[in-house]
Amino acid sequence: MKVLIPIKRVIDANVKVRVKADKTGVELTNVKMAMNPFCEIAVEEAIRLKEAGKVSEIVVVSAGGAQCQETIRTALAMGADRGILIQSDVALEPLGIAKLLKAAVEKEEAGLVLLGKQAIDGDNNQTGQMLAGLLGWPQGTFASKIVLEDGSLKATREVDGGLETVALKMPAVVTVDLRLNEPRYASLPNIMKAKKKPIDTLSPEDLGVDVTPRLTVVEVVEPDSRKAGVVVASVAELVDKLKNEAKVI
Per DSSP, what are the bridge partners of residue 101?
none
pLDDT at 151: 86
Q: In whole angstroms, give the CA distance from residue 40 to residue 46.
A: 10
Q: Which helix (H) or strand (E) holds 157?
A: strand 152-159
According to the model, what pLDDT value does residue 44 have?
97
- DSSP string over 70-129: HHHHHHHHHT--EEEEEE--S---HHHHHHHHHHHHHHHT-SEEEEES--TTT----HHH
d(CA 56, CA 74) in angstroms, rounded, equals 20
Q: How far is CA 128 from CA 16, 41, 112, 125, 131, in A?
A: 27, 15, 12, 7, 5
For residue 198, cis peptide bond before it (omega within 30 degrees of 0): no
Using CA atoms in the order 166, 172, 174, 180, what is the torsion angle rounded to 10 degrees? 70
Residue 144 near residue 177, CB atoms below 8 Å? yes
pLDDT of the residue at 236: 93
Determine the Cα–Cα distance for residues 57 and 66; give it in Å rounded to an integer.
24
Rounded average pLDDT per 10-residue block, the chain, 249 residues:
96 91 89 95 97 95 95 96 95 94 96 95 94 96 93 91 93 95 93 94 95 90 84 92 88
> What are the CA-CA distances from residue 18 to residues 90, 122, 164 (Å)?
21, 14, 38
Residue 230: predicted pLDDT: 84
Query: What is the structure's pLDDT at 246?
Result: 83
Q: Based on C-alpha coordinates, what's the Rg of the chain?
A: 21
Phi and psi, residue 162, nearest 5°: 140, -120
Q: What pLDDT is stored for residue 83 in this prediction?
A: 97
Alpha-carbon gap, residue 206 to 227, rounded angstroms = 51
Give the integer Cα–Cα distance in Å for 89 and 109.
Answer: 26
* SS3 at position 149: strand
Domains and CATH numbers, the chain: 2-244 (3.40.50.620)
Residues 47, 36: Cα–Cα separation, whole Å: 17
- Measured CA to CA in angstroms, residue 47 lies from 75, 100, 111, 159 at distances of 10, 23, 15, 26
- pLDDT attached to residue 158: 85
Closest CA relative to residue 181, chosen from 160, 161, 156: 156
